[in-house]
């Protein structure tokens, strides 16, 4: 049990989501940007109950023992330009990210800076396993879809696609419906069972892209939507193959927003990118307000969850399954 610093609260962890990036951390994918010394406690999708308060935690916050909070995982230094704009997940100073520096939620207790704990209602607190994934799987595609919306790429008569229907993609198709202003939503995945989840979550169409050429996918697009191209893509995979496929499917002035992190590098042809004025947007995690918004959507019943509860004792085999891409939806370690 850690001793909370003066500005921290002690949390008894109730639930922690399992993300592919947890597997990647162990495998060394993040050794450049997020070097950690092992042994280490990952886990960045955390919901917990207040078990103690540091000496400098303001009484005005009103936390009492047993209150349920979700943890905003991005702890910026609060002084750089990105932090002052509200985007602490992009901190260019001495920012930290739970589960990639400060010990994470694959443990019974953890310490959290009080300003990064977001209280939830008593009703929402009854299902902590549904709250935990919202801090990444639920928030990350929401920010990415907002970027596509704000870039003017969504709307009636347009097609938006989500590539990869895993932990993030199962939420992304829902945001495409909520934010798309009537856009047709197409799910692109490599297995039919993941496409079934996408359709249950609101996708208008699904295409199994496994072993298909871009032309074959376009043939299927035309059959389903009447068009061979896509206006906007939210890529929840981040592999060389998925991004390359996405650019092949975009029509003029199309945009691809990437939130997935599978490959280290991606490549695409330069002339189609310039000649048809395509856009490539990076979108990393989300900020405090993004998290508050998705929690509000979830509590209003506007978000469907695809969550499987698992035990901490089984963490290793579940991480391996994540690495293989076998998991549909989100696995969440439940401690209670």
Q: In the predicted model, is pLDDT for residue 170 greater than 90?
A: yes
Q: What is the pLDDT of residues 231-280, one digit of tens each?
A: 999 999 999 999 999 999 999 999 999 999 888 888 888 999 999 999 99
The pair phi, psi for residue 47, each rounded to 5°, is -125, 140
How many Cβ atoms from other residues are within 10 Å of residue 113's Cβ? Answer: 19
Alpha carbons 66 and 336: distance in angstroms, whole number: 13
Bigger pLDDT: 264 or 181?
Answer: 181
Average confidence (pLDDT) over 66-86:
96
171: how many CB neighbours lie within 10 A of its CB? Answer: 33
Quick: pLDDT tens for 206-239: 999 999 999 999 999 999 999 999 999 999 999 9
Q: Beta 45-53 vs 159-163: how paired, if at all?
A: unpaired
Report, as an integer, the average pLDDT of 34-48: 93
Residue 62 is predicted with a pLDDT of: 87
Average the pLDDT over each of 29-33, 138-142, 184-188, 220-224 and give the range with the smallest value.
29-33
Residue 34 has pLDDT above 90, yes or no: no
Ordered structural domains, the chain, with CATH = 8-136+286-334 (3.90.180.10), 140-282 (3.40.50.720)
Strands 230-235 and 159-163 come out as: parallel
Nearest to 112 by CA among 204, 7, 21, 203: 7
pLDDT tens, position by position, 280-309: 999 999 999 999 999 999 999 999 999 999
Contact between 192 and 208 (Cβ < 8 Å): yes
Contact 144, 234 (CB under 8 A): yes
């Amino acid at each position: 049990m850690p001793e909370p610093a003066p500005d921290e609260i002690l949390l008894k962890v109730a639930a922690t989501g399992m993300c592919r990036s947890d597997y990647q951390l162990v495998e060394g994918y993040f050794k450049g940007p997020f070097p950690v010394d092992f042994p280490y406690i990952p886990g960045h999708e955390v919901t917990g109950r207040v078990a103690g308060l540091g000496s400098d935690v303001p009484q005005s916050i009103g936390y009492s023992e047993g209150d349920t909070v979700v943890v905003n995982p991005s702890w910026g230094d609060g002084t750089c330009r990105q932090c002052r704009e509200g985007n602490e997940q992009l901190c260019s100073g001495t920012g930290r990210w739970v589960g990639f520096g400060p010990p994470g939620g694959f443990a019974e207790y953890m310490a959290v800076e009080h300003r990064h704990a977001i209280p939830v209602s008593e009703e929402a607190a009854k299902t902590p396993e549904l709250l935990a994934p919202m801090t990444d799987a639920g928030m990350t595609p929401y920010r990415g879809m907002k970027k596509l919306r704000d870039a003017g790429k969504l709307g009636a008569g347009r097609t938006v696609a989500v590539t990869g229907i895993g932990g993030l993609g199962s939420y992304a198709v829902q945001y495409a419906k909520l934010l798309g202003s009537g856009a047709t939503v197409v799910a692109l995945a490599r297995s039919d069972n993941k496409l079934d989840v996408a359709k249950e979550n609101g996708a208008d169409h699904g295409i199994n892209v496994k072993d298909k050429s871009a032309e074959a996918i376009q043939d299927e697009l035309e059959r389903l939507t009447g068009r061979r191209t896509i206006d906007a893509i939210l890529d929840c995979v981040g592999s060389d193959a998925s991004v390359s496929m996405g650019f092949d499917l975009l029509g003029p002035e199309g945009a691809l927003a990437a939130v997935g992190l599978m490959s280290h590098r991606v490549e695409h042809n330069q002339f189609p990118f310039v000649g048809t004025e395509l856009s490539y947007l990076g979108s990393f995690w989300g900020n405090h307000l993004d998290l508050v918004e998705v929690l509000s959507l979830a509590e209003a019943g506007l978000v469907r969850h695809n969550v499987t509860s698992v035990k901490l004792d089984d963490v290793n085999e579940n991480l391996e399954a994540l690495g293989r891409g076998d998991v549909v939806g989100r696995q969440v370690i439940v401690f209670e």
